[in-house]
Structure 1
């Protein structure tokens, strides 16, 4: 089954949910506002997305005063811990199907992802 990690405050996330509903695609929601992803879940997610944790550094950099982190000194473990404690930094929506995940933007990629994974 398709899983969707989303932020209920995010317009892109809401658009993905509308698209899935309109196309009768069954999915399970994981709301970042109510489900804080563990460090292990984050590591698995990054692996499924086929990205490096550093992908999130631009977002972390925008919040560096709030987080109190020196971006240059962050290790992968530091990045995972920041994402765990500050889920707003996780880009959403994210679609997961089995061992593969993709960022849910642009919305045109969703049909391909759903049909081909």
Structure 2
């Protein structure tokens, strides 16, 4: 089943959700700010995305700038920061089986559904 990691306050995330709704395909919404992800879940998503953990960080978030930006961090420390501060996770993320994309731009979602 298709999954979307969704934040309703984010316009790009809402656009991604709308694209999925219009596709007619079944999907599950994961409100990752409420149902926080584990480190293992994040590692699995990062592997599906085929990116480094730092590439999943929203670098303009205030908490990133004040708490993490100027510190040398390992991949595990970056993942731990996202687990503790899910606002740092780029969104939306759409997962379909063994494929995943960050829906920026929204059209990237069409590549995997």
TM-score bin (small chain): 0.7 to 0.9
Instruction: Say which one has the larger Rg.
Output: 1
For the residue of structure 1 that corresponds to 2:68, the secondary structure is: coil
Unaligned segments of structure 2, at least 5 residues:
none
User: Is structure 2 residue 65 aligned with structure 1 residue 64?
Assistant: yes
Q: Which moved more, 1:105-114 or 1:33-42?
A: 105-114
Q: Map 1:12-91; keep pairs closer than 5 Å.
A: 12-56=12-56, 59=59, 63-65=64-66, 68-69=67-68, 71-91=70-90
More helix by share: 1
Unaligned segments of structure 1, at least 5 residues:
none
Cα distance, 1:51 vs. partner?
Answer: 0.2
The alignment covers a number of residue pairs equal to 112
Q: What is the RMSD computed on CA atoms of the aligned residues?
A: 1.9
Q: Which residue of 1 aligns with 2:105?
A: 106
Structure 1 residue ranges, 4+ long, deviating more than 6 angstroms after superposition: none
| 1:55-81 deviation digits (Å, cap 9, x = unpaired) | 14561785231xx33644211111011
Cα distance, 1:111 vs. partner?
Answer: 2.2
| 1:60–1:40 CA distance, 2 compared to 1 (3 A) | farther
